[in-house]
């Protein structure tokens, strides 16, 4: 009987706590709403135009050219923004990395296909053997077990490569 009374008191306490916290949250929301209404609206952000910066830009010194740069780069027709070259180099590096990843993935999948074919061939040899414990059967069973372990390793490598591709955003 005591257990029932204790359980009833515990349930009642939990219900009262949940009702009290719900009222507290509603009160807090109402107070926050009134506080936002009472607070003054924030100032709009200051927008700077070229006319505001005109005098500051005119007084700025011209950038100094790198003395180690070749003279050919100084020609107006050959000038390229440095950011474009860096972006292009980064894009080329990313494309090369993706191609290398794709090549490794294709090789692993081809190896998986070959390993599965070897397993099928070895299973056929084991199934056709008339003498269960002959030397040929034992060798085929050993090769079959080794090939199955190799298949597990290749599948783990493929999963790793696919995870790498997902992390890098390939495909």
Spatial separation of the C-alpha atoms in residues 168 and 96, rounded to whole Å = 13
Say whether pLDDT at 52 is over 50. yes
Spatial separation of the C-alpha atoms in residues 151 and 149, rounded to whole Å = 5
Confidence at 62, pLDDT banded by 50, 70, 90: low
In the prediction, which pLDDT does 19 show?
61
DSSP 93-127: HHHHHHHHHHHHHHHHHHHHHHHHHHHHHHHHHHH
**Of the listed ranges 41-55, 75-89, 91-105, the one predicted with least confidence:** 75-89
Query: CB burial class (10 A; 0-12, 13-18, 19+) of residue 122?
Result: buried
Average pLDDT over residues 136-145: 86
Give Cα separations from 101 to 42, 160, 168 (angstroms).
51, 11, 10
Per the model's pLDDT, the better-predicted residue between 132 and 139 turns out to be: 139
Spatial separation of the C-alpha atoms in residues 3 and 91, rounded to whole Å = 70
**Chain centre distance of CA 102:** 17
Say whether pLDDT at 72 is over 50. no
């Amino acid at each position: 009987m005591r257990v029932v009374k204790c359980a009833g008191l515990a349930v009642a306490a939990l219900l009262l706590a949940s009702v009290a916290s719900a009222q507290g949250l509603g009160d807090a929301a109402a107070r926050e709403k009134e506080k936002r209404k009472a607070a003054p609206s924030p100032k709009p952000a200051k927008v700077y135009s070229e006319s505001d910066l005109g005098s500051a830009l005119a007084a700025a010194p011209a950038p100094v050219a790198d003395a180690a740069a070749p003279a050919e780069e100084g020609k107006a027709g050959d000038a390229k923004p440095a950011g474009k070259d860096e972006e292009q180099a980064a894009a080329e590096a990313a494309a090369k990395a993706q191609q290398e990843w794709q090549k490794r993935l294709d090789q692993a999948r081809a190896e998986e296909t070959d390993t599965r074919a070897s397993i099928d061939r070895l299973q056929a040899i084991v199934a056709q053997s008339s003498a269960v414990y002959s030397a040929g059967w034992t060798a085929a069973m050993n090769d079959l077990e080794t090939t199955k372990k190799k298949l597990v390793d290749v599948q783990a490598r493929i999963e790793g490569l696919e995870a790498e591709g997902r992390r890098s955003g390939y495909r």
